[in-house]
Structure 1
Amino acid sequence: MNKYKNTKTIHRGIKFDSKAEAEYYDLAVWQAQAEGWELKLQERFELLPKFELEGKKYRKIEYIPDFTFYKNGKLVKVVDVKGMQTKDFKIKAKLFCHKYQVPLILAKKYRNTFKEESF
């Protein structure tokens, strides 16, 4: 369990960062199949490349959403399963949406289902 009370979970042989993310996986697979989309998990997107300034090195900044969906090789949907939005997440989400011009969907567990809303 981490500081946000998420428990890493193995579901269908895949390790997820939370129980909610593992439960959302089945919905994501179903949606991808229904739409004819390709589903990817934990894909990395560079927001800012690494750089050096006056001898100091800075690491790149990446955003790693939980689920990404592609249609004919084009990114069409991005979903992050979140119970809580941190300051870092909000900044990275804005940078991601601006750079990649794809809406970000937040999925939050609500009773026995998920509520999806745009970031």
Structure 2
Amino acid sequence: MRGYKPIRGASKYHARQAFASDGTKCASRAEARYYDHLLFTHADFNYQQRFEIVPKFTCNGKRYAHRVYTPDFVIYEDYKITKVVDVKGGNATMTADARLRMMMFMQKYDMPVTIAEYDSRSGLFVEKQA
């Protein structure tokens, strides 16, 4: 594959880290392809932006840390969020934990999360709402 330089190490879902065309290190080759697509379309976006979904709190004297959701891409138009995209490599990466974080994000920020799955046969991304 031209343009993608795989690096050592893999995630528990066997996704190999890769570099996008501008040298940005991505968690998977599918993320690197989506990153390159956004660069090609000159979209205004952030990669791996963190959003707090549960603030830190104390219950019966025990402290609990805040919880965050980190979508893969946040796309902006006129400085407003228009789309939140999470790139998935298949059903194995769509865990119950990931679904819960997405639902908590959607409830708090009133913004749908788009799941982008890469179709290796066509070379295109199939997008659907989480």
* TM surpasses 0.5: yes
Q: Deviations over 1:72-113 (max 9, x none)?
A: 221110101012201110001011111111111101010211
Instruction: Give ranges in structure 2 of 5+ residues lacking alignment.
Output: 1-9
Provide the C-alpha distance between the structure 2 equivalents of 1:90 and 1:30, rounded to a whole number of angstroms: 29
Q: Deviations over 1:42-98 (max 9, x none)?
A: 000000001111221111110000000111221110101012201110001011111
Provide the C-alpha distance between the structure 2 equivalents of 1:57 and 1:9, rounded to a whole number of angstroms: 37
Query: Which residue of the other structure, out of 116, 119, 123, is the alignment partner of 1:110?
Result: 119
Provide the C-alpha distance between the structure 1 equivalents of 2:13 and 2:109, rounded to a whole number of angstroms: 28
Q: Counterpart in 2 of 1:14?
A: 24
Q: CA RMSD in A?
A: 1.2
Aligned residues: 115
**SS of the counterpart of 1:57?**
strand
* Percentage identity across paired residues of the two chains: 37
Question: Which amino acid letter does the alignment assign opposite residue 90 of structure 1?
Answer: R
Provide the C-alpha distance between the structure 2 equivalents of 1:92 and 1:102, rounded to a whole number of angstroms: 13
Q: Deviations over 1:6-35 (max 9, x none)?
A: 11112221111111101111112234x2xx
Provide the C-alpha distance between the structure 2 equivalents of 1:113 and 1:38, rounded to a whole number of angstroms: 20
Question: Which amino acid letter does the alignment assign opposite residue 39 of structure 2?
Answer: V
Provide the C-alpha distance between the structure 2 equivalents of 1:20 and 1:106, rounded to a whole number of angstroms: 12
Contact 1:28-1:67 at 8 Å conserved across structures? no
Provide the C-alpha distance between the structure 2 equivalents of 1:109 and 1:79, rounded to a whole number of angstroms: 13
Which has the larger strand fraction?
1
Q: Tell me the TM-score normalized by structure 1.
A: 0.90
Q: Which runs of 4+ in 1 moved over 4 A?
A: none
**SS of the counterpart of 1:90?**
helix
